[in-house]
């Protein structure tokens, strides 16, 4: 089967400006994802989808191809799935798409290989990288207008973790799909979804400035 990697990296970001090319250990952060994609050996092509010249230059410097995305898909409202679907309208001839987030630099080539290897069209059409929750998610609270806190899951909030069993969460780094199934469903959460569990140390996704310090801390364990 032919596979292609797409790295979505738009120029705008409200919480952390320029996060897709922010400096990380002396390189633009996107370079680590591009390098891992090539090292995985899974892909015929590695492509960065962007609307930004600086990101485009950084992608090319790391050996990736660049697809200029329409301005309508560079807004806060546009989803990554929509960007991938738009890309596949013109990029044909592939069986598997792997979407890799540029802001997860500690996800490595082995992680990518594990996720892609889960795809078995017709049996498993959707796969993603996962990690464990830091806190029990069933104890989540939501704040209402008067400032009071209410359990998000009132039937579960008082239960013990051992009664619930292990729970996993998408770590925001790596997604693989069988392209026909993805085009039918329009998202990464499809029937038969499987996952590759990654340790928290490789699951940090850069969203806020403090995440950069956490990435630098864990990078030492990964030998970067």
8 A C-beta contact, residue 16 and residue 207:
yes
What's the chain's average pLDDT?
A: 96
Angle at 218 between CA 216 and CA 224, to 5 degrees: 70
DSSP for residue 85: H
8 A C-beta contact, residue 106 and residue 199:
no
Tell me whether residue 63 is in a domain.
yes
Tell me whether residue 157 is in a domain.
no
Which residues does residue 195 pair with via DSSP β-bridges, in sequence order?
A: 128
Predicted local distance difference test score (pLDDT) of residue 54: 97
pLDDT tens-digit readout, 188-200: 999 999 999 999 9
| Interatomic CA distance for residues 214 and 115, integer angstroms | 24
Tell me whether residue 207 is in a domain.
yes
Choose between 222 and 62: higher pLDDT: 62
Mean pLDDT, rounded, for 209-216: 95
CATH classification at residue 209: 3.90.550.10
Local confidence band at 85 (pLDDT 50, 70, 90 cut-offs): very high
- Count the domains in the chain: 1
pLDDT tens-digit readout, 15-26: 899 999 999 999
Q: Tell whether the torsion through CA atoms of 218, 171, 94 and 7 is positive or negative.
A: negative
Tell me whether residue 160 is in a domain.
no
Local confidence band at 33 (pLDDT 50, 70, 90 cut-offs): very high
223 pLDDT more than 80: no
Predicted local distance difference test score (pLDDT) of residue 13: 83
Mean pLDDT, rounded, for 184-189: 97
Predicted local distance difference test score (pLDDT) of residue 14: 80
Q: What is residue 13's three-state secondary structure?
A: coil
Tell me whether residue 150 is in a domain.
no
86 pLDDT more than 90: yes
222 pLDDT more than 90: no
Tell me whether residue 140 is in a domain.
no
- Domain membership of residue 100 as a residue range: 3-130+168-219
Mean pLDDT, rounded, for 167-186: 98
215 pLDDT more than 90: yes
Mean pLDDT, rounded, for 24-46: 98
Residue ranges with strand state E in the chain: 3-8, 23-24, 27-28, 45-50, 65-68, 96-100, 126-132, 141-143, 149-151, 168-178, 194-197
Tell me whether residue 176 is in a domain.
yes
Tell me whether residue 68 is in a domain.
yes
8 A C-beta contact, residue 130 and residue 196:
yes
């Amino acid at each position: 089967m032919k596979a292609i990697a797409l790295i979505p990296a738009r120029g705008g970001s409200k919480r952390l400006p320029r996060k897709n090319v922010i400096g990380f250990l002396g390189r633009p952060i996107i370079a680590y994802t591009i390098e891992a994609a090539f090292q995985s050996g899974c892909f015929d092509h590695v492509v960065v989808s962007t609307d930004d010249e600086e990101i485009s230059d950084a992608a090319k410097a790391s050996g990736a191809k660049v697809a200029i995305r329409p301005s309508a898909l560079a807004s806060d409202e546009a989803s990554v799935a929509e960007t991938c679907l738009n890309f596949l309208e013109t990029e044909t001839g592939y069986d598997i798409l792997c979407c890799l987030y540029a802001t997860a630099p500690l996800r490595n080539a082995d992680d990518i290989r594990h996720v892609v290897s889960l795809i078995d069209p017709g049996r498993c059409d959707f796969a993603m990288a996962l990690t464990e929750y830091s806190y029990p998610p069933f104890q989540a609270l939501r704040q209402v207008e008067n400032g009071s806190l209410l359990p998000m899951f009132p039937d579960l909030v008082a239960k013990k973790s051992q009664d619930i069993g292990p729970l996993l969460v998408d770590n925001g780094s790596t997604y693989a799909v069988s392209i026909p199934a993805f085009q039918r469903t329009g998202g990464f959460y499809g029937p038969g979804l499987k996952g590759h569990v990654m340790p928290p140390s490789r699951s940090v996704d850069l969203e806020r400035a403090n995440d950069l310090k956490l990435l630098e801390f864990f990078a030492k364990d990964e030998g970067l």
